[in-house]
Amino acid sequence: MVSLFEQMLAHHWHWIALVVFAGAFLQGLSGVGLGMVASPLLALFAPELVPGPLLMISCVIAVMSVLREHAALDISGLSFALVGRLLASVPAALLIGFLPVRGLAIAFALVILLAVVASLLKLPLRPTRLNLLIAGSVSGFMGTLTSVGLPPIALVYQSVPPAQLRASIGGFLAVGALISILALAAVGRFGPHEMGLGLAMLAPLFLGFAVSGRLRHLLPAAHMRLIVLAIAAGSAGLLLLRQLVA
């Protein structure tokens, strides 16, 4: 474990902690943020934290979100999204190393940006069964490859009440991240080393989520939707930039 923490410190642990804290705060406040914010940034200076360790802490904060607002959980709709996630995560894990991940990531980022523009033009997506199935499939495929899988689900749920948005996205992420972790473990890409890195990031994760709990009731629904769109667009932009400069 000494070498583990030496490795974390060598990669600027204070910056890693700040990124995780900010992502956890946004996740607790709006339902999205951790993977969208942390994945592109951590990949720049600590790529070993993506995707496995980041998926692990994403699963942890998702469970906490569901427990905090379980009454608002959209169980019926989530079942369709999770079917899509399951169907797409396994082939994504098997195809890591064979697919042109850079090209797929660029296409994914552009699709998310187009969806954000459509939403701003008053053409918001609705959480229908078909939309959730499609969004879950896209999320599972890209989430397993890049750790950035929530934008499709967030865009589909953007028009629902804040509590339902946070709880439903949390429910999807909790099960979806676990599916992706198991898929990565099955192909040898998640084990004790990745688990140790994830455990090392739990302290800033818990702190960011705790701070968000004090403020989440102060955020109006209209502002929540704008935050979701801004985070989705920013995440897609960072992902696109990361691929173009790689």
Residue-wise pLDDT tens digits, 44-81:
678 788 889 999 999 999 999 999 999 999 999 999 99
Q: Count the neighbouring beta carbons within 10 Å of the beta carbon of residue 113.
A: 18
As a whole number, mean pLDDT of residues 82-106 equals: 83
More confident residue, 189 or 107: 189
In the chain, the amino acid numbered 245 is V
Question: Structure pTM?
Answer: 0.81
Instruction: Give the C-alpha distances (Å, rounded to integers) separating 218 from 159, 167, 223, 246.
Output: 18, 17, 10, 40
**Block residue for tokens 């801004």:** 230
**pLDDT in the model for residue 3:** 57
pLDDT at res. 4:
55
Rounded average pLDDT over 124-133: 89
Number of domains in the chain: 1
Token pair belonging to 49: 């934290």
Rounded to whole angstroms, the Cα distance separating 106 from 102 reads: 6
Can you give the pLDDT at residue 7? Answer: 58
pLDDT at 33 over 50: yes
pLDDT for 2 = 47
Domain that holds residue 57: 2-245
Q: Assess whether pLDDT exceeds 50 at residue 153.
A: yes
Using one digit for the tens of pLDDT, what is the confidence trace for 173-212?
A: 999 889 889 988 998 989 999 999 999 999 999 999 999 9
Please give the DSSP secondary-structure letter assigned to residue 96: T
pLDDT at residue number 224: 76
Backbone angles phi, psi at 50, to 5 degrees: -125, 130
Percent of the chain with pLDDT over 90: 35
Rounded to an integer, the average pLDDT of 1-14 is 60
When pLDDT is averaged across residues 6-31 and rounded to a whole number, the result is 81
Q: Please check the confidence at residue 123 and state whether its pLDDT lies above 60.
A: yes
